[in-house]
Amino acid sequence: MKAMLLAAGRGQRLRPITDAVPKPLVEIAGRPLIGYHLAALARAGIREVVINVSWLGEQLRAALGDGAGYGVSITWSDEGPVPFETGGGIFRVLPLLGPAPFLVVNADIWTDIDFGALGIEPDAWAHLVLVPNPAHHPRGDFGLEQGRVMAADTDRLTYSGVGLYRPEFFAGCQPGRFPLLPLLERAIAAGRVRGEVHRGQWSDIGTHERLAALGETRPRVE
């Protein structure tokens, strides 16, 4: 299996830190945030990784290089000064990810999700890892009934930013900037999205407060 790390965001809410450092390179317990993901991918046996970049992308390239220091092989997708958003960024690199299901991970989260334990059902276009709703996102995103991700008004869970996707999920898309959510809603309506709940460690490093709180927990460095 191949993986894509989404690392092209600007990180507006972490300014001024992200004026000088791209968010995936912000350090947690002495290691860049994205470094935890690369190490976890290597432990899971996932060696081929695509990373998209935009804001301060040259810093990410310089810090990570070809990925050999983390036991992986990195291919870079430079989106230029205006990122392609999540959907457009993934669609752009489908030829690099190949015809098999692939893993997508938001580079600005912290989690102990075991990437090697994830799988996608034969009839699914996507398999999402959901988490209990954090305080900053109390309404959640999607429902989950007997392993199937559903549109729901109540009893919703939060998408963790970790999921498996098949290329078929992007059928009919055209190159350019577009978000992932409308594609998820389309696939959910078609009954093609499965999911599971992760109840271990997970945090969206989106604000100074959440970054500080995570730093206080001193995550274990593998």
Average pLDDT along the chain: 90
Which domain range does residue 195 map to? 3-217
Q: Contact, 52 vs 3, CB < 8 A?
A: no
Q: Contact, 52 vs 79, CB < 8 A?
A: yes
Residue 14 within a domain? yes
| pLDDT at 80 exceeding the cut of 80 | yes
**pLDDT confidence tier of residue 57, bands split at 50, 70 and 90:** confident
**pLDDT confidence tier of residue 221, bands split at 50, 70 and 90:** very low
pTM: 0.91
Residue 195 within a domain? yes
Residue 87 within a domain? yes
Mean pLDDT of 173-186: 96
What pLDDT score does 62 carry? 93
What pLDDT score does 25 carry? 87
**CA proximity to 205, closest of 3, 5, 25, 20:** 25
Q: How large a percentage of the chain has pLDDT more than 70? A: 87
In total, how many domains does the chain have?
1
Instruction: Locate 115 and state its tokens.
Output: 């990437």
Give dist(CA 36, CA 56) in Å, integer.
20
Residue 128 within a domain? yes
Q: Any long-range contacts for 148-156 (C-beta under 8 Å, 24+ apart)?
A: 148/191, 148/193, 148/194, 148/195, 149/188, 149/193, 149/194, 149/195, 150/188, 151/185, 151/188, 151/189
**CA proximity to 110, closest of 215, 205, 1:** 205
Helical segments of the chain, H only: 17-20, 33-43, 57-64, 85-92, 94-97, 181-189, 208-217
Residue 192 within a domain? yes
Residue 222 within a domain? no
The CA–CA distances, whole Å, from 186 to 34, 103, 149, 150, 189 equal 30, 19, 12, 11, 5
Mean pLDDT of 149-158: 95
Give dist(CA 72, CA 5) in Å, integer.
12
| pLDDT at 33 exceeding the cut of 70 | yes
pLDDT tens readout for residues 87-145: 999 999 999 999 999 999 999 898 999 999 999 999 999 999 999 998 878 999 999 99
Residue 77 within a domain? yes
What pLDDT score does 217 carry? 47
CATH code for the domain of 202: 3.90.550.10
Mean pLDDT of 64-77: 96
Residue 196 within a domain? yes
